[in-house]
Amino acid sequence: MVEIGHRTPSQDFITRVDAVLEAGGLFERLLNLVRADAAPPWLREWISVEREATLIRWFEPSLIPGLLQTEAYARAVLRGGRMLSHSEAEQRITSRLERQSILSRENPPEIVTVIDETALRRPLGEPALMIEQLEHLLGLAEQPHVNMHVVPREAGMHAGLAGPFILARTPDGGEVAHLDNALRAHVTDHPDDVDSLQRRWESLRGEALPRRASQELIRELAKSWT
């Protein structure tokens, strides 16, 4: 499946191919080159911000945040809408998985996510896919630099229903915002835009469950998929 371009090679796959073929790291270097060009052009500005950020605050009302997605979940998201060709979807999956490397680097940014409970309940594939995704969230939530909060469905109407957004703090203390739409990402550091989103973020944090209560809810929902 990898050889004919139907599946994105994982890092583990590439490492083992290098070892078996005694390629001296050739395939890993090739994979890095592919990943560097895999992101859509309109997303590359944000990726550069994301890589330098010291703090990332991410709200999602309908899906698991991209940095926290499993490969299977990401594939279900990008292939499920049937808006991308197979090759486009695979390129974006490769890019998304590469972006996740910031979570495990030596000095990772602090990640704070607020996720609407609806996103945790939305079936994107077989139950096993959802169980894997929610268990992955629980594993990430145990890391000291990852804070995960869930807005319970009992909250009803809240400030986040207008759409997802991300706030990234740069090394110099500035803030850059990312907003998604059906066509492309919009990146802005305009003070009025950032201030508006920061106020929206604080409102959402007020609606969300504390960290441990959020983990318990995710654990309960994972069990519900069995």
> Where do the structural domains in the chain lie, given as residue ranges?
44-67+101-224
What's residue 35's pLDDT?
54
Model confidence over 13-38: pLDDT tens digits? 777 887 888 888 777 766 655 555 55
* Sign of the CA dihedral with 168 first, then 143, 74, and 94 last: positive
Quote the mean pLDDT of the chain: 88
* Average pLDDT, integer, range 7-17: 71
What's residue 33's pLDDT?
53
The better pLDDT of the pair 32, 165 is held by 165
Token digits of residue 185: 């990402």
Q: Of 155, 73, 67, nearest to 112 (Cα)?
A: 67
The pTM (predicted TM-score) of the whole model is 0.81
* Superfamily (CATH H level) for 44-67+101-224: Endonuclease Chain A (3.30.870.10)
* Average pLDDT, integer, range 93-101: 89
Say which range, 109-113, 153-157, 179-183, has the weakest mean pLDDT.
179-183
Q: What percent of the chain has pLDDT over 90?
A: 60
Model confidence over 107-152: pLDDT tens digits? 999 999 999 999 999 999 899 999 999 999 999 999 999 999 999 9
206 phi and psi angles, rounded to 5 deg: -70, -30
Interatomic CA distance for residues 106 and 191, integer angstroms: 31
